[in-house]
Amino acid sequence: MHYEVQHYTLAQGWRNTWSYDEGDGVIHAETFATQAEAEAALDEFFADIAEDIAAGFCPPCTRDEFRIRCVPDPATVEPAVAAGGAL
């Protein structure tokens, strides 16, 4: 299991919109090993954008727009198998 910071979007509901590039040109969804790491990243995010919000460079946002959720590791989840054409 791992944790992700999810942002509420009007079009798609709760989504993990956080990503990173390891320099290989591929965008990876950012996840965290523990809930504490995800909370620390969210705290750092709000600290980083506080000045931008105050200066009017980005719209204000609140923690209510974000949540931390435990999600299964995609590498350990078995894909659904269709039996007889039914899902």
Domain ranges of the chain: 2-71
Average pLDDT over residues 49-64: 89
Residue 58: predicted pLDDT: 87
75 or 35, higher pLDDT: 35
Average pLDDT over residues 52-76: 86
14: its two tokens: 């709760």
Are the C-beta atoms of 53 and 65 separated by less than 8 Å?
no
Average pLDDT over residues 50-70: 91
Confidence of residue 60 (pLDDT cuts 50, 70, 90): confident
Residue 77: predicted pLDDT: 56
**Beta carbons within 8 Å of 64's beta carbon, 6+ residues apart:** none
Q: How many residues does the chain have?
A: 87
Looking at every residue in the chain, the average pLDDT score rounds to: 86
Q: Does residue 73 carry a pLDDT above 80?
A: no
